[in-house]
Amino acid sequence: MNDLVEKLRVVVRAEFALLKSEARRTRSQLVLSGLTIGCVLLAIVALNVGMYFHFTGASVERDAALSVLLINVIIALIPWFLAQRIKPGPEEDILIEIRDKTALSLEKSASDIFSPSKALSLSSPLLGLVMQTFNKTKSKK
């Protein structure tokens, strides 16, 4: 029984470590996505300013605003690409393997302990006693 508890602890710890790792990865992706959104919003503002200067006839200011637009779009692509490249590392793969193997072993141990044939073999002496009592009462009648 102590072996089952130890296996269960290993499974829980591996799962907890995987959740922490996934939370870190998700947090990094959210920060990078926030940077991307911020740069895109700045690019939209630069586009609006560039369109304003285009309609007013100020070509130097228009060119400057459109240059800022282009720079912001390029800067927005960098965190977006970085966010797409964040993948689970080798330590997560090892934790998944440990968790799966331990869970399989735990399931096998639990099925061995709680299998119906084991329950029947453990209850056989009790079943024999009940049958003897039943036969004695039947023979007295």
pLDDT tens-digit series, residues 7-38: 778 888 888 888 898 899 999 999 999 999 99
Count the neighbouring beta carbons within 10 Å of the beta carbon of residue 26: 11
> What does pTM read for this prediction?
0.63
Give domain limits for the chain. 2-140
pLDDT(62) > 80: yes
